[in-house]
Amino acid sequence: MDLFRTETDVQMKTAGGNPADLNVQVQSAVAGTPVINVPGDQYWDTRSSTELTDFDQWVGRVSVPVSQLQGSGYEVTTAQEKLTEITSMRSSLANALWARNDASTEEPRETIHAASIDYETMVRNVKKTGSESEEVRTTIDQSEGVLTRSGMMNADLKSLGINCTQTQRLVETGHYQISTIQTQMKTGNAPGARATLSQFKDTLQSLRDAYRGILIREDLPQTTAQGVLSVAQSLDVISARMNAV
């Protein structure tokens, strides 16, 4: 094309012609010849189909991990909203492609690209929060086991005539707090779950101290005393572990 234009300029100057007039005539000839438009039409048809198909396939791929995270109980509302926003941009991209103008496609493509980066960041943050949630669930499961042991210990102490009003109340409070935390996590109320978890830790520490008081105050059989000490130590371990959650 460069050689053709160079030769054309030379011939125009030699013949004393007008390059502007030639350009108008060439453009008119191209516009009036259907066969000239066929390759351009094919290019834009292929490009439009390919880019929109790639867009749809990308949306399909990136929606899978969010669905999996949601199925595992993680809070993904923000990521889902961003993906919905990106999906709605398809019409803008399609309109730009149908306009058959390279300049018109730049803005929607750049907007989609920027939004996709935001979306990927949100998904990474969801995964990080999910990992934290798993730690909370594991700690809660272990806490339920300790509270069950505490309930059994209360029954043993009552059979010996020991007043277990305080320890029974704390065990009931602990079970209620666990139920509250689980509900808050399922509904995505992370701040509420953290606040209740802090209260639950205080309950476990109070229960631990109550058992230690019984050990000091009461003359227990050796086997029972060892059981009370074991439960108190387990409560201490669980409450300390919560500091890292």
Q: Tell me the CATH number at 196.
A: 1.20.120
Among the candidates 127, 144, 179, a domain finishes at 127
5 is a domain residue: no
| CB environment 182-212: b (16+ within 10 A), e (fewer) | bebbeeebeeebeebbeebbebbbbbbebbb
Shared domain for 105 and 169, answered yes or no, is no
Statement to judge: residues 111 and 137 lie in one domain: no
229 alpha-carbon distance from chain centroid: 42
Q: Are residues 100 and 141 in the same domain?
A: no
Q: Note whether residue 24 is domain-resident.
A: yes
pLDDT recorded at residue 94 = 92
Domain span at residue 217 reads 132-244
Q: Are 145 and 81 contained in the same domain?
A: no
- Domain count of the chain? 2
Do 234 and 151 share a structural domain? Answer: yes
pLDDT of residue 1: 85
Q: Please report, to the nearest 10 degrees, the dihedral formed by the alpha carbons of residues 163, 167, 169, 171 taken in order.
A: -140
- 104 and 67 part of one domain: yes
Claim to verify: residue 175 and residue 220 sit in the same structural domain: yes
Residue 245, pLDDT score: 61
Residue ending a domain, among 74, 101, 127, is 127
pLDDT score for 132: 60
Domain final residue, candidates 105, 127, 149: 127
Give the pair of three-digit tokens for residue 68. Answer: 């999996």
* Cα–Cα distance for residue pair 220/223, rounded to 1 Å: 8
pLDDT tens, per residue, the chain with 245 residues: 888 888 888 888 888 888 788 878 777 777 766 777 777 788 888 999 999 999 999 999 988 888 888 777 677 888 899 999 999 999 999 999 988 888 888 999 899 999 999 998 888 887 655 556 677 778 888 888 899 999 999 999 999 999 999 999 999 999 999 999 888 888 878 788 889 999 999 999 999 999 999 999 999 999 999 999 999 999 998 888 887 66
Domain shared by 79 and 105, yes or no: yes
pTM: 0.49
